[in-house]
Amino acid sequence: MNKYENFLIEWVGENSGIKKEIIDINANMFENAYVDSLALFGLLVDIEMNFGITLDENDILDDKASTIKGFAEILIKKTK
């Protein structure tokens, strides 16, 4: 697991009340109530504060952004 996946799992666990051990990095974060639209805003702010990565609308609307694994891949691409 990479640092972005770890960060996202920690963040989801802290902000959703879901135990980190049962969070599936391949599951849709919205359909599984890991994140809702309001929490997404907080997540984006925390990503920018922790990693200095600013995501644009295309990143957020990318189908990959619906899973922790895919979201982490987007973050990795933004750092290259």
CATH code where residue 10 lies:
1.10.1200.10
- Tell me the pLDDT tens digit for each residue of 22-51: 999 999 999 999 999 899 999 999 999 999
The number of folded domains in the chain is 1
Of the candidates 66, 4, 63, 5, the residue with the CA atom closest to the CA atom of residue 32: 66
Q: Which domain holds residue 28?
A: 3-78
Average model confidence (pLDDT) for the chain? 96
Q: Where are the alpha helices (DSSP H) in the chain?
A: 3-16, 37-51, 57-61, 68-78
**Confidence check: pLDDT of 71 > 90:** yes
What pLDDT sits at residue 80?
A: 83
